């Protein structure tokens, strides 16, 4: 029996009972995000791509030496090690590019046998944000969407692998890093095979730390990879222009230069749809709050007064989406038609029916479902996650984009800053 690995949805992850609300809109969410910035996934800074690609490369190297490991297992361990090394350097200060501060802080055993354990690091590693981006950027080859199926190069010979785009990227990042007169790849492979004496060194921190600015050649390589998709390239040029106009507030009534009409239409429609979806979450959260603070059991569907304001906002945002005339995403249209229904009772029924996980219908009563475990409404931000592959939370920079615009636009803004070598300064 195959041992489940941590940090990936589907067969490669243990069953979860997290209170995640999708409202049956997962495919629509993914589509609007991909229309905004194709292939970016949840990536918002460059070293996410590097650490995940490195994980695939090291796993592949070790597998050829006869050790049975999986890409996920190796990439998660390398990411955990990278964050530990960075925290050690910055005196365990928080940084949005690091995860696992609480779990990693008092760890001292850095052997691969220890670091590979699910309890060592977070269950939502940054690697999850790269699952779409790695193949979209041409950094890996794959026959499917699973991280464990990713590989560098088609052939089995090292010489062919060295010519792969992924290895060219890794070599560009690690060009100046020669830990103990070796390569980062070799040191990590030895670590997995049981030799961890050279793993927590200055050279390895320089190579792996998510806080380090990558070499210009590596950053230029990623700029070229962004340009592989015309819409993604246009979006990068757009956020670059915004970087030079920090006082400019973007609004949906004015199409920016450099974006074609179709792209801008998709961005505007996505923003309006996400606003309606967020308003639906507000309705459901308010119902939870009301039930938990009153009977603790249920709320009649006809008792709409506790959520009157939220219903008004939901109907307003849904009507705005419908009034735009956007018909490319039929499921988005159907959702907004349900939410714009003039009957409050109908809207509540349809919204709760779409939830079914935290709230559920029982005749004319709205009940708390088994997934409700007493959290404050909205406490688990997975319900607001617009990527179904576990996106990295956005850094808290004041950006000029409209509220509810696809988070990929903000993430591309951060990534562009990073590729210019300016992200660390901006985050400070």
Residue whose pair of structure tokens reads 């985050």 in the numeric block: 427
Cα–Cα distance for residue pair 187/197, rounded to 1 Å: 9
Predicted pLDDT of residue 1: 32
- 311 pLDDT above the threshold of 80: yes
Cα–Cα distance for residue pair 311/353, rounded to 1 Å: 16
Predicted pLDDT of residue 295: 72
Provide the pLDDT confidence category of residue 82 given band limits of 50, 70 and 90.
Answer: very high
List the structure tokens of 162.
């060295």
- 388 pLDDT above the threshold of 90: no
List the structure tokens of 228.
């592989």
Provide the pLDDT confidence category of residue 296 given band limits of 50, 70 and 90.
Answer: confident
Predicted pLDDT of residue 160: 55
Predicted pLDDT of residue 198: 82
Predicted pLDDT of residue 398: 73
> Is residue 64 within 8 Å of residue 186, measured between CB atoms?
no
- 35 pLDDT above the threshold of 90: yes
Residue of 425, 360, 362, 359 whose CA lies nearest to 397: 425
Predicted pLDDT of residue 218: 97
Share the mean pLDDT of the chain: 88
What is the mean predicted confidence (pLDDT) over 93-116? Answer: 96
- 194 pLDDT above the threshold of 70: yes
Predicted pLDDT of residue 9: 30
Apex 181 CA angle, 175 and 187, nearest 5: 80
Per-residue pLDDT tens digits for 60-77 = 999 999 999 999 999 999
Predicted pLDDT of residue 214: 96
Predicted pLDDT of residue 372: 62
- In the three-class reduction of DSSP (H, G, I as helix; E, B as strand; rest coil), residue 359 is classed as strand
Who wins on pLDDT, 391 or 320? Answer: 320
What is the mean predicted confidence (pLDDT) over 364-369? Answer: 90
Provide the pLDDT confidence category of residue 245 given band limits of 50, 70 and 90.
Answer: confident
- 356 pLDDT above the threshold of 90: no
Who wins on pLDDT, 393 or 284? Answer: 284
Per-residue pLDDT tens digits for 389-427 = 333 345 556 789 999 999 999 999 999 999 999 999 999
Residues whose CB falls within 8 Å of the CB of residue 373, separated by 6 or more in sequence, listed in order: 19
End-to-end Cα, the chain, rounded Å? 47
H or E segment and range at residue 86: helix 71-89
- 17 pLDDT above the threshold of 50: no
- In the three-class reduction of DSSP (H, G, I as helix; E, B as strand; rest coil), residue 392 is classed as coil
What is the share, in percent, of the chain residues with pLDDT greater than 70? 87
Cα–Cα distance for residue pair 344/301, rounded to 1 Å: 9
Provide the pLDDT confidence category of residue 319 given band limits of 50, 70 and 90.
Answer: very high
Predicted pLDDT of residue 13: 33
Per-residue pLDDT tens digits for 118-150 = 999 999 999 999 999 999 999 999 988 899 999
- 266 pLDDT above the threshold of 90: yes
Apex 170 CA angle, 168 and 175, nearest 5: 90
Cα–Cα distance for residue pair 59/69, rounded to 1 Å: 6
Provide the pLDDT confidence category of residue 370 given band limits of 50, 70 and 90.
Answer: confident
CB neighbourhood size of 39 (10 A): 20
Cα–Cα distance for residue pair 205/89, rounded to 1 Å: 9
Who wins on pLDDT, 155 or 12? Answer: 155
List the structure tokens of 83.
């964050």
- In the three-class reduction of DSSP (H, G, I as helix; E, B as strand; rest coil), residue 367 is classed as strand
Phi, psi of 183 (to 5 degrees): -110, 160
Sketch the domain layout of the chain as residue ranges. 39-220, 227-258+396-427, 261-372
Predicted pLDDT of residue 395: 53
Kindly report whether the global pTM for this prediction surpasses the value 0.85: yes
What is the mean predicted confidence (pLDDT) over 259-287? Answer: 97
């Amino acid at each position: 029996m195959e041992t489940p690995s941590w940090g990936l949805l589907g067969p490669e992850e243990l069953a979860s009972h997290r209170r995640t609300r999708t409202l049956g809109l997962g495919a629509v969410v993914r589509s609007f995000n991909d229309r905004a910035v194709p292939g970016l996934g949840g990536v918002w800074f460059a070293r996410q791509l590097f650490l995940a690609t490195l994980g695939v490369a090291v796993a592949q190297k070790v597998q050829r030496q006869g050790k049975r490991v999986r890409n996920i297992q190796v990439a998660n361990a390398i990411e955990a090690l990278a964050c530990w090394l960075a925290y050690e350097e910055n005196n365990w200060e928080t940084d949005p590019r690091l995860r696992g501060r609480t779990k990693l802080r008092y760890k001292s055993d850095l052997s691969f046998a220890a670091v590979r354990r699910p309890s060592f690091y977070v269950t939502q590693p940054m690697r999850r944000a790269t699952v779409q981006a790695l193949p979209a950027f041409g950094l890996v080859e794959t026959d499917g969407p699973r991280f464990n199926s990713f590989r560098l190069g088609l052939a089995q010979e090292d010489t062919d692998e060295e010519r792969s785009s992924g290895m060219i990227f890794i070599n560009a990042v690690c060009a100046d890093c020669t830990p103990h007169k070796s390569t980062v790849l070799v040191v990590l492979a030895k670590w997995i095979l049981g030799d961890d004496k050279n793993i927590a060194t200055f050279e390895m921190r320089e190579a792996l730390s998510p806080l380090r600015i990558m070499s210009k050649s590596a950053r230029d390589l990623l700029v070229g990879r962004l340009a592989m998709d015309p819409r993604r390239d246009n979006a990068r040029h757009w956020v670059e222009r915004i970087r030079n106009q920090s006082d400019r507030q973007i609004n949906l009534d004015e199409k920016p230069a450099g974006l074609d009409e179709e792209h801008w239409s998709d961005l505007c429609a996505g923003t309006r749809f996400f606003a309606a979806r967020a308003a639906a979450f507000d309705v459901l959260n308010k119902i939870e709050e009301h039930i938990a603070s009153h009977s603790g059991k249920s709320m009649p569907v006809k008792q709409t007064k506790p959520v009157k304001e939220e219903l008004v906002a939901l109907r307003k945002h849904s009507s705005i989406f419908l009034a735009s005339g956007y018909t490319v995403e039929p499921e988005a249209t159907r959702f907004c038609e349900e939410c714009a229904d003039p009957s409050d009772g109908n809207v509540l029924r349809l919204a709760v029916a779409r939830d079914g996980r935290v709230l559920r219908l029982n005749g004319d009563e709205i009940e708390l479902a088994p997934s409700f475990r007493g959290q404050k409404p909205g406490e688990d931000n997975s319900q607001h996650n617009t990527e179904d592959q576990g996106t990295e939370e956005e850094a808290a920079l004041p950006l000029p984009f409209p509220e509810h615009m696809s988070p990929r636009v903000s993430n591309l803004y951060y990534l562009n800053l990073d590729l210019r070598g300016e992200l660390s300064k901006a985050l400070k």
